[in-house]
Chain A
Amino acid sequence: MESLWAIVAGVLFACGFYMLMRRNLIKIYFGLALIGNAGNLMIITSGGLTRAIAPVIPEGATSIAGTYADPLPQALILTAIVIGFGIQAFTLVLLWRSKAVTSKGDVDDLRTTDITEKDHH
């Protein structure tokens, strides 16, 4: 099971990096989103995929009976998803603004930072 998901994560990483190399800004954004998901999938896979109960001690008991899932990878990807959600939303708004002012959305249009005031005239 782990090896299957490891391959899936690998494919997602590969797709993400391919998208990052594209010229279109929206495609670059999708590349970032894909790599983020690939990373999360990798964390949950590397934490070990076991058929086990939730790591919550039932009411009245003092310990969990049987095997329980490692809660830490879940906490990690939850945090990573929350952060990714916020930052990707910001990136999307930024792309939007960029498209609104440059009207295209091609990486070649992002050159204004490299042009000095002299070249403008």
Chain B
Amino acid sequence: MRPSVILKIGARYMQPLLLLASIFLMSRGHNDPGGGFVGGLVASTGFALLAFADSVEAAKKALRFDSRSFIPLGLTLALGSGIIAFFFGKPFMTGYWLPFTIPIFKYFGVPALFDLGVYFAVLGVTLTIIFNAATQEE
């Protein structure tokens, strides 16, 4: 089946927008609805849309990196966020925040770092599954 031209062009513009929306969702997860999981899912929808509307190759090209390498990256970030507490002599995952606010995240600390890890892990897992399933179908 040949994907429709409208969808193909639309997906090309939707994908960056979805990526932006996903970053917005992820960054506000600290105090408002949102977070790494839903952010990661929204980001992967963008690439999934590209994969269906255009081709898996186009989606992989837009992602630049191998989708699988996002999984260890995300898990390492999440693991690292938990280890920070050890330097303060506290148990795993104890929350610490930067004393100043930063753009996008506002309050950046252990939970935000963990969310960032979840974001990448979800993005990696979802896209790996979708790319695999899409290539098997052909």
Q: Is the CB of A89 within 8 A of B129?
A: yes
Interfacial chain A residues near B37, Cβ < 8 Å? 78, 82
- Complex CA gap A96/B134 in Å reads 11
Which range contains the number of B residues in contact with the other chain?
under 10
- Distance in angstroms between the alpha carbons of A86 and B129 in the assembled complex: 9
Q: Which residues of B contact A78 (CB under 8 A)?
A: 37
In the complex, whether A101 has a CB less than 8 A from a CB of chain B is no
Taking residues whose C-beta sits less than 8 angstroms from the other chain, chain A's interface range is 10 to 19
Is B133's CB under 8 angstroms from A96's CB?
yes
Check B31 for interface membership: any CB of A closer than 8 A: yes
In the bound complex, do residue B132 and residue A86 qualify as a contact, i.e. CB atoms below 8 Å apart?
no
Contact B136 A96 (CB under 8 A): yes
Give the distance to chain A from B59, nearest Cβ to Cβ, in Å. Answer: 17
Tell me the interface secondary structure of chain A in the complex: helix
Answer yes or no: B83 CB below 8 A from chain A CBs: no
Judge whether B125 is part of the interface by a CB distance below 8 angstroms.
yes
Which one of A56, A82, A89 contacts B31 once the chains associate, using CB atoms below 8 Å?
A56
A93 B125 Cβ-Cβ under 8 A: no
A56, chain B: closest CB distance, angstroms:
6
Q: A56-B31, A78-B37 are in contact. Are A86 and B136 (CB under 8 A)?
A: no
Given the complex, which residues of A lie within 8 Å of B129, measured CB to CB?
Answer: 89-90, 93
Say yes or no: A93-B133 contact (C-beta < 8 A), given A78-B37, A82-B37, A86-B125. Answer: yes
A12 to chain B, nearest CB (A): 23
B132-A93 in contact (CB<8A): yes
Query: Can you list 16 A-B pairs with a CB-CB distance of less than 8 A?
Result: A56-B31, A59-B31, A78-B37, A82-B37, A86-B125, A89-B129, A90-B129, A92-B133, A93-B129, A93-B132, A93-B133, A93-B136, A96-B133, A96-B136, A97-B136, A100-B136
Taking beta carbons and an 8 Å cutoff, which residues of A are in contact with B?
56, 59, 78, 82, 86, 89-90, 92-93, 96-97, 100
- Contacts beyond the supplied A89-B129, A100-B136: 14 A-B pairs with Cβ under 8 Å: A56-B31, A59-B31, A78-B37, A82-B37, A86-B125, A90-B129, A92-B133, A93-B129, A93-B132, A93-B133, A93-B136, A96-B133, A96-B136, A97-B136
